[in-house]
């Protein structure tokens, strides 16, 4: 009973501090929600489209204009400029006005009617991998379709039926099925990683700040005394309100993803809820570990922010985890986001069996041991004045 009374006393004290310090509410509620809104608005279109390009068409023949219109009709490309020479296109690309130049030869129509090969050249800005990939795919598809259509018409004029002409043009038909994200939708791809990143970032920073303020204001001994001198009870009472807040934000995040943004939900909802709660508690555990190890509010906040941002890099979404060098793969295991993203993708998009995600959940729960390891150190910095008053 004494432990429960001490826990409630610390909880009441923390709620009072939450009402007194506006920074607490901004850091734990205002900024996370704002970051969610920013990222949702940023990726609300899902797929990039109408990327401006230029077409160089010196011949300006009916066939070349048809090819230009077909390129303009693709989802990713928009023919924004018809240029008079390639130098003009190069200048516009350097100025950032366009991301590709399609050069149609002057002799295109003549070559086609003479049964000669003609080359359409595309110069695509490769600095942005997303736009590069989409433009390359769509422009190449249009040119191949255009070329095939002309050859089919030529064969049909020779008395071959339309079906036979298609069979001659494509003796082997390639059928493609894109699984889990068939629309290449960036809501499905990036939001399920950016939103958990923001959740982890603010959970970790809030944990560091709430404990660091006790050291900065020299009230750490009072906090520990409120918990009856039991460091574990003092920590539990202090962190409990924020566990509830950030778990509620996690539920809000999932609601936005699944209900409003229509991210697929193929697997076990309960496992996603449990992993979300563990993810929040693990982020708090890492925050406790950092402030206990460093006993310096400013330094702990800086390292905590850097650690959170690095977790996205090593989550395997931007660069495949299995393609990383072995030392980097090992380094990636120290970030709980790596495991949470795997659970999310397994259960939300792949519809994998629940048992497949248990290992990731178990690995993530190992981070909960960090505060227990640092309890003696935490008690020491709460009782010795030499650790107090630091920014």
Q: Which helix (H) or strand (E) holds 51?
A: strand 51-56
Single residue among 169, 197, 232 that ends a domain in this structure: 169
Domain assignment of residue 176, yes or no = no
Q: What is the pTM of this model?
A: 0.84
One domain, residues 207 and 235: yes
Indicate if 76 and 37 belong to the same structural domain: no
Phi, psi of 52 (to 5 degrees): -70, 130
What six digits make up the tokens of 246?
A: 């950030």
pLDDT tens track for 16-72: 999 988 889 999 999 999 999 999 888 877 677 889 999 999 989 988 899 999 999
In a domain, 180, yes or no: no
Per-residue tokens: 352: 């994998």
Let me know whether 67 and 143 are in one domain.
yes
Residue 262 has pLDDT above 90, yes or no: no
Q: Is 84 a member of any domain?
A: yes
pLDDT of residue 179: 66
Would you call 130 exposed, middle or buried from its count of C-beta atoms within 10 A (0-12, 13-18, 19+)? middle
Tell me whether residue 300 is in a domain: yes
What's the domain count of the chain? 2
Whether residue 84 sits in one domain with residue 26: no
Domain containing 96 — which CATH number?
3.40.1710.10
The domain of 131 spans 51-169
Based on the fold, state whether residues 221 and 357 are members of the same structural domain: yes
Q: Which band of pLDDT confidence, cut at 50, 70 and 90, is reported for residue 209? A: very high
């Amino acid at each position: 009973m004494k432990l429960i009374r001490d826990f409630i006393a610390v909880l009441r004290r923390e709620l009072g501090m939450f009402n007194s310090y506006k920074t607490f509410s901004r850091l734990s509620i205002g900024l996370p929600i704002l970051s969610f809104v920013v990222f949702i608005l940023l990726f609300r279109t899902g797929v990039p489209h109408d990327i401006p390009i230029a077409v160089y068409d010196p011949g300006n023949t009916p066939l070349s204009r048809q090819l230009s219109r077909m390129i303009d009709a693709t989802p990713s490309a928009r023919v924004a400029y018809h240029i008079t020479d390639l130098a003009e296109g190069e200048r516009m690309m350097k100025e950032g006005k366009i991301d590709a130049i399609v050069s149609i030869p002057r002799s295109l129509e003549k070559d086609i009617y003479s049964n000669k090969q003609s080359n359409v050249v595309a110069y695509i800005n490769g600095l942005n991998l997303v736009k590069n990939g989409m433009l390359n795919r769509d422009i190449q598809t249009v040119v191949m379709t255009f070329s095939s259509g002309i050859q089919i018409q030529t064969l049909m004029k020779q008395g071959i039926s339309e079906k036979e002409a298609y069979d001659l043009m494509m003796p082997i038909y390639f059928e493609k099925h894109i699984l889990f994200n068939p629309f290449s939708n960036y809501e499905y791809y990036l939001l399920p990683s950016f939103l958990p990143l923001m959740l982890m970032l603010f959970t970790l920073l809030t944990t560091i700040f709430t404990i660091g303020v006790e050291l900065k204001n020299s009230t750490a001994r009072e906090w520990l005394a409120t918990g009856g001198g039991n460091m574990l009870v003092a920590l539990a009472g202090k962190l409990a309100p924020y566990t509830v807040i950030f778990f509620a934000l996690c539920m809000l995040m999932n609601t936005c993803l699944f209900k409003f943004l229509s991210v697929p939900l193929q697997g076990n909802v309960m496992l996603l809820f449990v992993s979300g709660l563990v993810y929040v508690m693990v982020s708090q555990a890492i925050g406790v570990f950092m402030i206990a190890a460093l006993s310096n509010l400013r330094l702990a906040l800086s390292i905590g922010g850097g650690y959170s941002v690095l977790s996205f890099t090593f989550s395997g979404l931007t660069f495949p985890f299995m393609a990383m060098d072995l030392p980097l793969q090992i380094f990636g295991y120290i970030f709980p986001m790596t495991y949470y993203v795997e659970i999310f993708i397994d259960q939300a998009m792949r519809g994998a069996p629940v048992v497949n995600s248990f290992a990731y959940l178990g690995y993530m729960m190992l981070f909960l041991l960090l505060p227990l390891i640092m309890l003696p150190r935490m008690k020491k910095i709460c009782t010795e004045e030499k650790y107090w008053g630091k920014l």
